Amino acid sequence: MILLRHDCLAFKTNSGESIPCTAQQMTVELLGEAASVIDEDLVKNAAEAVLHYFKSELGRTTVTTAEFSQALEQVLRGLGFEVQSNATLNVPTPRVMESDLRLLAFESGKGFELVFFGKLRDELRQKLSGSPQLLRFSGLRGCVKQLVGAKRWCARCQELNDQIVHYLRSCLSSEHAGKSCSLIVF
């Protein structure tokens, strides 16, 4: 295994090939003409910050060009620049459907878990009817504490937490079999 320089990452291309490259070289490639419009030192510092994020914060030595370009775009946009990298041009944004588990728990009223799981399956079916690429269920911790009636997290909370996640996974696999859809529960 070859040790990379401290200012390099291995960039995975769409073909699956890994190319070691400095952050500055990849930045020029990704931003194209936009790199010449922005101050060179600013672009260099932003690229080094993104490199540091992937290497030090995430502990990664290999990233895809899309991941790097998205992170760099986010940094530059945070600095007030309107940029779009060559790597993300013509990439459709994923269809994301969101739902709040706390609201479903509240709507379940005094039926607690018996009513909640039925409402959860109905919510999942309704969201899947929009053919999403990503389903995002938020508020799991608050939902669980509300259903259990607990003020502090306990063993029963953890058990119900795991049941809800397992239920969502099994419902997704049975309702949306053969289709591509990711699930996030937090």
Residue 15 is predicted with a pLDDT of 66
Q: Does residue 81 sit in the same domain as residue 102?
A: no
Task: Count how many domains the chain has.
Answer: 2
Evaluate whether residue 3 is within a structural domain: no
Residue 61 is predicted with a pLDDT of 76
Q: Give residues with Cβ within 8 angstroms of 83, minimum separation 6.
A: 31, 34, 38, 73, 76, 77
> 36-54 pLDDT, tens per residue?
566 777 777 888 888 878 7
Choose the final residue of a domain: 88, 106, 141: 88
**Would you give the DSSP letter of residue 3?**
P
Q: Does residue 65 sit in the same domain as residue 146?
A: no
Is 70 exceeded by the pLDDT of residue 146? Answer: yes
Q: Does residue 70 sit in the same domain as residue 15?
A: yes
Task: Give residue 156's identity as a one-letter amino acid code.
Answer: R
Q: Does residue 77 sit in the same domain as residue 44?
A: yes
Q: Does residue 80 sit in the same domain as residue 120?
A: no
**For the chain, what percent of residues have pLDDT higher than 90?**
34
Q: Does residue 70 sit in the same domain as residue 100?
A: no
Evaluate whether residue 1 is within a structural domain: no
Choose the final residue of a domain: 41, 69, 88: 88
Which sign does the torsion angle of CA 74, 75, 81, 86 carry? negative
Q: Looking up tokens 């859809």, which residue turns up? A: 181
Largest pairwise CA distance in the chain: 62
Evaluate whether residue 119 is within a structural domain: yes
Q: Which residue has the higher pLDDT, 60 or 34?
A: 60
Mean of the per-residue pLDDT values of the chain: 80
The span from the CA of 154 to the CA of 5, in Å, is: 47
Determine the structural domain holding residue 28 and report its residue range.
8-88
Q: Which two tokens stand for residue 124?
A: 């999942």
The span from the CA of 48 to the CA of 143, in Å, is: 40
